[in-house]
Chains A and B, each alone.
Chain A
Amino acid sequence: MSYTELTVWTRGIIMDKEGRDIVNSIAASARLEGKFSQAMENYVDNPDRTNAPTRKYCRVSESVLENELTYENEKPNIVVLVEQTMVKGWDYMRGMPPGGTLVINTQYSPEYMIRFVPGPERLAQLVCVDAARLADHKWLYYRLGELGLDRLSTEGAAERSKTIAPDIAAPLIAAIVKTTGIVKRETIEPMIGYKKAFQLALQELHVLPINPVAA
């Protein structure tokens, strides 16, 4: 019986919704496929602080979830970094069993990013997708350097929250679905707000196979 844990690392306020969209849409699609799933946000990490690292969790299982009262993912099979500089800051690989997948939103190549990953031998593949460019995101792509100055990112969030994955979450979901098969593309695609970015990402992924034997 397969059981998969997905942890999304994102930044407080400015990319909070992107992380939430990823876990929610994947958990919802898994249920549509008849699996048991669960998604939740983190309240320990202080997501109300700009740029503060924040985690979102998702679990998908073909049997009843035994640990649904556990809050953190102890052994994430899939880790997603919504913002690329997080690759340097935390031990997001903690607890990952061999054969895992790391997905990063970055304009750099996987060959470059691998140097920052702690314990990369546990990875089956490192996936880099330039989600900010594919989704044409003004802050994350054109003005990344001004992220720290951005104090208004929740502006428009109420309108945006009606749609699932209206921007950079769409390419990231595409990357997860294509490289791990956690849910089927046909199930999740109708939910995505920004379909064009989703489809573009399916073409423009950069995958670095690392230790596929362990998978």
Chain B
Amino acid sequence: MSTKGTRIPDWLTVPFAGITPAPSQEKGQDLFPTGNWRAIRPVYRDKMPPCNNACGTNEKIQGYLDLVKRGKYLDAYALIKEDMPFPSVTGRVCYHPCEQACNRGQYDEAISIRAVERFLGDLGQTLARDVVKAGPPNGKKVAVVGSGPAGHSAAYQLARLGYQVTILEKSPKAGGLNRGGIPDWVLPQHVLDREIERLVQLGVTIKTNVEVGKDVTWDELKKNYDACVLAVGLTEPNSVRAEGENKDGVIYGLPFLRDIGMGTSKVELGPRVAIIGGGNTAIDCAREALRQGAVEVAMITVEAHPQEMPCVPEDLHDMLEEGVELMHGRAMTAVLGNGKVEALQLFPARFSGAINASPIIVNREVPAERFAVDNVIIAVGQHASLGWLPAEFKTERGAIKVDQFGRIGNTNFFAAGDVVQLGSGQPLMVVNAVGDGKRVAFNLDKMLRGEPLQPRKVPVDVIVDLNRMNMTYFPHFPRIKQAMLTPASRRRTQQEVILGYSEEQASDEASRCFSCGTCNACDNCYLVCPEPCIVRSARSNGLYKILVDYCKGCRVCIEECPTGCLEGVPELDFDTGVVRMDTAFAITPGLHGRQAQELENFANRPAKQI
């Protein structure tokens, strides 16, 4: 290129005429700061991956999958523990909304995120000491009522913040729904025991056999603690209001599972068992019934099709494999028998509205069906037992009334978990309760420190469009299935049904992650930049730097970014990056400038010099 007529600063002159430093050499980019050729500036802007957004507790899923991919398992475990106190539990029981949201699902198959989480959780269980430490004590005392998912999560986060936390649990064993609502063959007791042990190691005191309203009153909580989190859950089963529901042999789903979980069950099932309900608890009850000795198990639902059942599809699939029969479009109107269940009276039925919670319409014009059974397990949802709570803090549906920060009125009491979420439209699942407990713990901390509270939901830029990423970098690759016991071998034992990943499987599965919208330090921008405009100080997220004085805005890095985190932003949106060029291609008082000056002085010159 010609530099004729332009001024090269002294400090840029080189020993040999005609040689200028290359852009990759020292000061080479200063000679031609081509940054002002640029209409679009590449900017690293991380977006919210759909998995993180869908997760009830907003785990940094993309982050830990990336760390697993690189073999940094301990870092991945530490990252997951920021939001999730017990990954080994949710790695088994979670209904994985992250996998439903996974962008890979639009491409081939969603990533098996839950299996990787379980791998990390199991790794954490084997550690002699947990990676998480309690915060420096701040001298404040907080009571958490209930040791289920929400209570566990709130206590865990508060302990990390330095609070002296006491959990009050009414059952003889801590764990709440994790222990009493989830069967052993999904979540072995020793896994949960270990997680509770971790919580105690953080300095949390757990008092079992203490029931609020009976052993401790509302006023005592107020007096003895600086603040309190109510995470009492939904403990009372709903009834179907059928005739003869009080007969022997009628069992409710949640107490049935809870007694087995706590080791206090005295139920002996007959050979024929019917389950009323089509949700997750109903499925667990049906499968547990087989393990408790039932021979024939039938599930009676109002829903007309399996797809309409409010449950996790793969659990339904596993249940059907174990031999449970489905009877759709029926409602139980009466329990028949002489003091003990002998049969059920069924009528065709359907929901009056679009959702499963709408009132049921029973068609009594056709003759009733008589269905002979020895036991019936009713699992149609739960409600809270809040007799001890002042009436002003209750909603019409019997849940606790909280503001957008999870706080109860103007008190120092917060509430979290199912007891708050009932009727809110949010799924009543473990991970949602954990997220609720986490957010409430942070708000409680803010309240005690006198800072403004944060609302429960924050809108974010979620990347769900595959066009925003570069799919040419992602070959199709099938999901790695978790090993399972065969239906025949598992239906009579308490052995865990789904098995964990090996290290290799976890690493392979994590490698399938697109890292949607988030820089995972793949180095692609660094490699494709035709000029040396992208520098990296370390191979890590956010550590690339674009030399804006030299970048011409050719867009190659933006187009080639696999994850879509690089964005082209109009240059004029930035106040910065103004480089007034003074070298090549720029106006300088060069050759022609000097000529102009000479011409201006032309008339003044003596005649002989012309």
Contact = CB atoms under 8 A, between A and B. Distances in A.
Interface residues of A, number: 40
Nearest to B584: A46
B37 A67 contact: no
Nearest to B577: A88
Nearest to A75: B596
Interface string B548-561: 00001111000100
A90 B579 CA distance: 7
Contacts of B577: 88
Contact of B37 (A52, A92, A144): A52
Given A44-B5, A87-B572, A90-B587, A71 B555 contact: no
B593 to A, nearest CB: 6
29 contacts: A46-B585, A49-B1, A51-B552, A53-B581, A69-B595, A70-B595, A70-B599, A72-B587, A83-B39, A85-B571, A88-B36, A88-B577, A88-B578, A88-B579, A89-B37, A90-B580, A91-B582, A91-B586, A94-B587, A115-B575, A116-B578, A144-B570, A145-B555, A148-B37, A148-B39, A148-B553, A148-B555, A149-B554, A149-B559
B593 A89 contact: no
The main secondary structure of chain A at its interface with chain B is loop
Interface in A121-141: none
A10 B568 CA distance: 22
Interface residues of B, number: 36
A145 B5 contact: no
A56 interface: no
Given A85-B38, A88-B572, A148-B553, A44 B6 contact: yes
A145 B568 contact: yes
Interface of B: 1-2, 4-6, 35-40, 552-555, 559, 568, 570-572, 575, 577-582, 585-587, 590, 592-593, 595-596, 599
Contacts of B1: 46, 49
B587 A85 contact: no
Nearest to B573: A108
A88 B579 CA distance: 7
A45 interface: yes
Interface of A: 11, 44-46, 49, 51-53, 55, 66-67, 69-72, 74, 83-92, 94, 106, 108, 112-113, 115-116, 118, 144-149
Given A67-B596, A85-B571, 15 more contacts: A44-B2, A45-B585, A53-B36, A70-B592, A71-B595, A72-B592, A88-B572, A88-B578, A89-B37, A90-B36, A90-B587, A91-B580, A91-B587, A108-B572, A118-B580
A89 B553 contact: no
Contacts of A106: 572
B39 A89 contact: no
